[in-house]
Amino acid sequence: MKRNQFSYHSDRKWLMPMVTISVLTLMLLLTLHGHGKPSSGSGSSFGQPNFTHLDRENGELRLPKLPRFAYVITGTKGDGPRLKRVLQAAYHPRNYYLLHLDIEASDSERLELAKYVKSENVIREFGNVMVVGKADLVTYKGPTMIACTLHGIAVLLKKAKDWDWFINLSASDYPLISQDDLLHIFSFLPRDLNFIENSSNMGWKEYQRARPIIVDPGLYHSNKSGVYWAKEKRSVPASFKLFTGSAWVVLTKSFVEFCVWGWDNLPRTLLMYYTNFLSSSEGYFHSVICNHKDYQNTTVNHDLHYIRWDSPPKQHPMLLKLEHFDDIVQSGAPFARKFAKDDPVLSKIDKQLLKRSDGRFTPGGWCLGNSLLGKDPCAVYGNPTLIKPTSSSKRLEKLLVKLMDSENFRLKQCK
């Protein structure tokens, strides 16, 4: 029987015992260090894993409930095959995926991507991947980038009701661990942690981004072009504090709902301010979350990406190559960027980290086929709650334990 779109079973059925025991250190760290109570009025349970799932029942230890991730994966002209590859590498039946090729991509390229999604039996069965048909115009450095992200979030909130974290990726990003590993580790975390690199120390950005006034022609033109610069400058706002950081985030459903629905006026006020702000995607979510008492104490100051910069940093990060592979692995991050199209390092990540063959999904506990027969093991699939984390999850666990350490965690929140 074909499943209804975006509806799954939620109970966790199976897990590799060797990984379960070590990951409990995350739980202990969160509780023993008492990582804080929620701010007044937030109604959250910050710092509290799902202990009801860890009680002994009938003499057996129950595991925490698996989360779900909602992805927006974006690209531009010529990025159709790259989006397809990122989707295959990051796919899991429990998650939701929204693919967006901006207006610069041709209709035929967008249609080709949609045809692929429709042709995959697994995706068709679980109905958890969508392709944006009416594309947004996205101007590099302009506020249309954050508008595109908010559009994607709004679609996911409408079409996919039950998920826990939002993740944005581009065609030049790539996962470094399987989704089974990611789901496994995140199942032990409080569901209101927001992973967002942030700082109020604007430095050079104050004079090159905050004070200049730009106009994004994508707001009123249908043709893509660069931003326009105004001659006038403006002062730094006094009613709220500016924060900046990475454009790549892992945000809770609660927080992105707040940004989209805006029952407090702060998200709308900041959205209007960032309309004339250069590279607003590196400041909007950061300023909203750090200026609101209900969310500022839920931040983990990291974007969960491995990114390599020149010294001093240039506008774009370095392209990752084969010689960076060991550093990529040792980072413990679940994602990395920036990769060139079909760079050999991607094949090495597929082979050594994801155990994935070209054109196939990253295998997990839901894949029941036999790869020895030369076929995609995920062509035969079972219950998506059956996950099979690997030893690679220990790298992410190590990173999170470091980020949650009492000497780092509170000191780096919205400072």
Would you list the domain boundaries of the chain? 176-200+244-412
Residue 41 near residue 186 (C-beta atoms within 8 A):
no
Kindly state the helix (H) or strand (E) to which residue 336 belongs, with its residue range: strand 335-337
The residues with which 212 forms a beta bridge, in sequence order, are: 233
Question: What's the token pair of residue 114?
Answer: 């949609």
pLDDT reported for residue 34 = 47
pLDDT reported for residue 47 = 40
Q: How far, in Å, are 191, 319, 374 from residue 58 at the CA level?
A: 27, 53, 42
Question: What's the token pair of residue 81?
Answer: 């095959």
Kindly state the helix (H) or strand (E) to which residue 305 belongs, with its residue range: strand 305-306
Q: What is the pTM of this model?
A: 0.88
* CA 283/CA 269 separation, integer angstroms: 13
Strands 212-215 and 228-233: antiparallel
Mean pLDDT per segment of 10 residues, for the chain of length 415 residues? Answer: 41 46 56 42 38 45 86 97 98 98 96 97 96 93 93 97 96 98 96 96 87 84 79 90 96 97 93 93 97 96 95 82 97 97 98 95 94 82 93 95 87 90
Residue 407 near residue 189 (C-beta atoms within 8 A):
no
**What's phi and psi for 230, nearest 5 deg?**
-90, 155
Strands 173-175 and 194-195: unpaired
Q: Which amino acid is at 129?
A: V
Give the three-class secondary structure for 213.
Answer: strand
* CA 210/CA 233 separation, integer angstroms: 9
pLDDT reported for residue 79 = 98
The residues with which 56 forms a beta bridge, in sequence order, are: 61
b/e map 350-376, b = 16+ CB within 10 Å: beebbbbbeebbbbbbbbeeeeeeeeb
pLDDT reported for residue 33 = 45
Q: Which residues contact 345 (CB under 8 A, 6 or more apart)?
A: 320, 321, 322, 324, 325, 328, 339
Q: Which amino acid is at 358?
A: D
* CA 389/CA 270 separation, integer angstroms: 40
Residue 111 near residue 85 (C-beta atoms within 8 A):
no
**What's phi and psi for 202, nearest 5 deg?**
-70, -35
pLDDT reported for residue 406 = 80
